[in-house]
Amino acid sequence: MKIKTLLSFILFGLSIHTAMAQDDLLDQLDVKSDKKEIATAAFKALQIGNMQSTKLPVKGELYILISHRFGDLTEGFQNFFGLDDANTKIGGIYGVANWLSIGVSRHTFQKTYELGIKYKLANQMIGGFPITIVGYNTLDVNSELDKVNYPQLQFSNRLAYSSQLLISRKISESFSLEFATLYTHKNLYDNTAEYTDLLSLGYGARYKLSKRLSVNLEYATRLSAFEGFLATKYHNPLTVGLDIETGGHIFQMVFSNSQAMNDVAVFSNATGQWDNKGIYFGFNMYRVF
């Protein structure tokens, strides 16, 4: 009888322990089910075309960027469809943290040096917060200016800035949208053809065609550019492109009415017109280390 009683107590204890373990496991499953996941890969590249996307490098990643914009395609054989006249951009972007990156680049346009800082303010969550919010700021230094043409030139005259707020949503596995507010400022500008301050609204989209291929579109409306001479010399930037993902790097083919690639010039100095002249073909190539 004592052995039977002892066995009964042991079995009773084991049943209680098993029930408690099952409750703990269920509690853990409930916790995991409540945890929200970040919506990833709204955009594969750091840019949609010319405009920044809401993608950032992860901490410790280094992106090397080489961009090229050939001359005006519409001139045909006169400039061999743009091959005789091209702008180049070479730079690097480093992920300081998962939410912060710093980039430096050099452009042949006005021999510009550009510093960019990109930071994530919020993530789109699956079943939670509906959008990703990213801030982006640039500082440009125009090293082409000289005192022969500008006797009173000071270093501050070389500077230009942009401030951008980027808001995106991954609608589905294939389709993503972005909305942006864009502000540019120039310390030195041509008051017959440019604005010292310019506010624009930007729109971007990506549609995934296959696992490694997507088509991109972006457009910016210059709100500060009133009708008249200033509004007709420069135009709203429009860019279409194709993303090709090839393992360690992303290759973007782009067609744009802006040959310049630094952010201030893209949004304030796009000279081309899609229904007339000034269409520039080029590419962005990112290599990740």
Answer for the pair 266, 87: CB distance below 8 angstroms, yes or no: no
Spatial neighbors of 237 by CB under 8 A, at least 6 apart, are: 50, 218, 219, 220, 256, 257, 258, 266, 267, 270
Distance from C-alpha of 36 to C-alpha of 127, rounded to nearest angstrom: 7
pLDDT in tens, 13-43: 444 444 444 445 445 444 444 567 998 889 9
Q: Where are the domains of the chain?
A: 1-35, 38-288
What fold, for 38-288?
Answer: Porin (2.40.160)
Q: Which residues of the chain have pLDDT under 50?
A: 1-23, 25-26, 28-33
Residue 118 tokens read as 């990109």
Q: What is the pLDDT of residue 79?
A: 76
Closest CA to 202 of 225, 219, 185: 219
Q: What is the sign, positive or negative, of the torsion defined by CA atoms of 209, 210, 211, 212? A: negative
Q: What is the pLDDT of residue 27?
A: 52
Answer for the pair 83, 77: CB distance below 8 angstroms, yes or no: no
Q: What is the pLDDT of residue 263?
A: 96
Position 249, amino acid: H
Q: What is the pLDDT of residue 102?
A: 98
Longest dimension (CA), the chain: 111
Q: What is the pLDDT of residue 199?
A: 94
Q: What is the pLDDT of residue 195?
A: 86
